[in-house]
Amino acid sequence: MKRTETLPDRSRNVAGITRSLSLHAPLRRTPQRVLRAMLEALPEDSLPEDPVAELERRMRGLIGTEAALLFPTGTMAQQVALRIHAERRGRRTFAAHPQTHLEVWEEQGYAVVHGLRFRPVGDRHRLLQTADLAGVADPLAALLLELPQRDIGGQLPSWDDLLAQIAWARQRGAAVHLDGARLWEAQPFYGRPHAQIAALFDTVYVSLYKGLEGIRGAILASDARTIGEAAVWRQRLGGTVDDAWPLAAAALVGLDTVAHRMPAFRDHAVAIAAALRADGVVHVVPDPPQTPLFHIHVPAAPEATEQAAQEILREHGIQLFLRLRTSPHDGHCSFEVCVGENAMEFTPDEVAALLRDLVHRADRAGADSRRLS
């Protein structure tokens, strides 16, 4: 018997979920399934002796840099990259989109841990525009660009805008850092090799667990001197984990099994958006999606939508989202879809029917709560 057959499949028991539109649903992330996928893709005789070194070697090739270093999180890797750019230039400020992960999700670690200052640029609901940069007078340590911009539905600037923004930063002596958490997802939009996109930047971070569907972890890639300094910072911050090989092995599986599927995931996202547009009940941003990631805007209040989604989960075992986003418009909310293996299990028409059902149930839940209050 193959060793992998001894691992029980508990995926159908994760909180009653049998299918999910969310990339991060626990469905494919149970220890059993992760281990099985690793053993299938990397049988014992082909398991690299040092998965971390092998991953760093593969990433150097893909991203096209002299050096690459595994970090436990992208949060740590990006703060370190900005700290290095700041110390080299004797400047404390970095500029980025108002919804950068560093500002929204990291408890201001860049300031509290590294003494850096954040200069938001542009409108929080739109892509950063080259014209927005004209208003930045502060001497910058770095300009951070996130490709794609996750919190506005995975939007991407045109190649020419990207070149113009990078040229603007370089003319002012600033470094350019890529938040490429989803570089794999962004690549089909540009139709250029990952290395050609990455070559525009001084430092590049990519995630090992988003599109690659690994466990956790991040790679910071750059020239050898910068990565040498990053390794010292990783040690200082307690991020040098000697036995981090499971993170690397899971990412190697992702590189071999899902990285090449990004165009198919993006095409499926476009097909889902077209079905939703034809149905007309919800609204997709951006439409059409530019990557496998997009947002669905629902014409119902978040509380009623949450209740409706729980009903659908209980009745059908289908999870539509992990987290709802509120909206400045009363009676509206939104959620993120990132097409990966989970969302490929849904046909576009099925998603449209599910969203119609969600809104119908949310309307009913809203009417019930108004009657009771």
Ligand X SMILES: Cc1ncc(COP(=O)(O)O)c(C=O)c1O
Q: Which residue is nearest to ligand X (CB)?
A: 74
Peptide bond into 43 cis (omega under 30): no
Q: Is the CB of 30 or the CB of 79 nearer to ligand X?
A: 79
Q: What is the DSSP string of 208-275?
A: SSSTT--SS-EEEEE-HHHHHHHHHHHHHTT---TT-HHHHHHHHHHHHHTGGGHHHHHHHHHHHHHH
Answer whether 141's CB lies under 8 Å from 174's CB: yes
Q: Is the CB of 102 or the CB of 296 nearer to ligand X?
A: 102
Q: Is the CB of 155 or the CB of 207 nearer to ligand X?
A: 207
Q: Is the CB of 105 or the CB of 236 nearer to ligand X?
A: 105
Shortest Cβ distance from residue 82 to ligand X (Å)? 12
For residue 181, with 0-12 CB atoms within 10 Å meaning exposed, 13-18 middle and 19 or more buried, which class applies? buried
Question: How far apart, in Å, are the Cα atoms of 371 and each of 85, 357, 358, 364, 367?
Answer: 58, 21, 20, 11, 6
Instruction: Work out whether strand 318-319 and strand 19-20 pair parallel, antiparallel, or are unpaired.
Output: parallel
Shortest Cβ distance from residue 78 to ligand X (Å)? 6
Binding positions for ligand X, rule: CB under 6 A: 73-75, 101, 146, 150, 179, 181, 207, 218
What's the longest Cα–Cα distance across the chain?
Answer: 66
The residue assigned the tokens 């009653």 is 16
Shortest Cβ distance from residue 46 to ligand X (Å)? 27
Shortest Cβ distance from residue 80 to ligand X (Å)? 12
The residue assigned the tokens 């988003």 is 210
Shortest Cβ distance from residue 288 to ligand X (Å)? 21
Shortest Cβ distance from residue 177 to ligand X (Å)? 11
Q: Is the CB of 155 or the CB of 307 nearer to ligand X?
A: 155
Q: Is the CB of 37 or the CB of 220 nearer to ligand X?
A: 220
Nearest alpha carbon to residue 51 among 216, 221, 249: 249
Shortest Cβ distance from residue 199 to ligand X (Å)? 20
Q: What are phi and psi of 96, to 5 degrees?
A: -165, 170
Q: Is the CB of 73 or the CB of 129 nearer to ligand X?
A: 73
Shortest Cβ distance from residue 108 to ligand X (Å)? 14
Q: In what order do the strands lie in the sheet with 203-207?
A: 67-71, 218-222, 203-207, 175-180, 140-146, 93-96, 117-120
Shortest Cβ distance from residue 181 to ligand X (Å)? 4
- Measured in whole angstroms, how far is the alpha carbon of residue 124 from the centre of its chain? 18
Q: Is the CB of 251 or the CB of 304 nearer to ligand X?
A: 251
CA separation for the pair 178, 73 (Å, rounded): 15
CA separation for the pair 21, 19 (Å, rounded): 7
Q: Is the CB of 24 or the CB of 88 nearer to ligand X?
A: 24
CA separation for the pair 233, 149 (Å, rounded): 27
**Structural tokens at position 241:** 């984990």
